[in-house]
Structure 1
């Protein structure tokens, strides 16, 4: 699955520093879902105020998260 995040340079840098993303699964049997980010691309708008990170996302299995 391909996802995009928009934010400041600092916010996007925090996302890029982690090899995985944890998401709360409120209506899911598991309370927290872990996803691995790969094929990450970062772009800025011409004025440098908004940063866009796009990446492929794949759900990690239980043992991979530990």
Structure 2
């Protein structure tokens, strides 16, 4: 699955520096799901100081892994 985050340099660096991403889900699903990010790319808006990080993610069940 492909996912994109939009934000400032500081916001994008928080996401880009992490190999795993934890997402909260809706009430009827498991409370948290863990995804691994790979093939990430950062795009810069030419005039504004906004960035877009796009990456492929896959759900992982590796609960013993530490980031």
Q: TM-score, normalised by structure 1?
A: 0.87
Deviation, 1:47, is 1.6
Deviation, 1:49, is 1.1
Residue 51 (structure 2) pairs with residue 65 (structure 1): no
Q: What stretches of structure 1 of length at least 5 have no aligned partner? A: none
Q: TM-score, normalised by structure 2?
A: 0.86
- Which portions of structure 1, spanning 4 or more consecutive aligned residues, are displaced by more than 4 angstroms? none
Q: What stretches of structure 2 of length at least 5 have no aligned partner? A: none
Aligned CA distance change for structure 1 residues 28 and 56 (closer, same or farther; 3 Å): farther
More helix by share: 1
> In structure 1, how many angstroms separate the alpha carbons of the residues matched to 2:26 and 2:10?
27
Residue 20 (structure 2) pairs with residue 20 (structure 1): yes
**How many residue pairs get matched?**
64
Give 2:42's aligned residue. 42
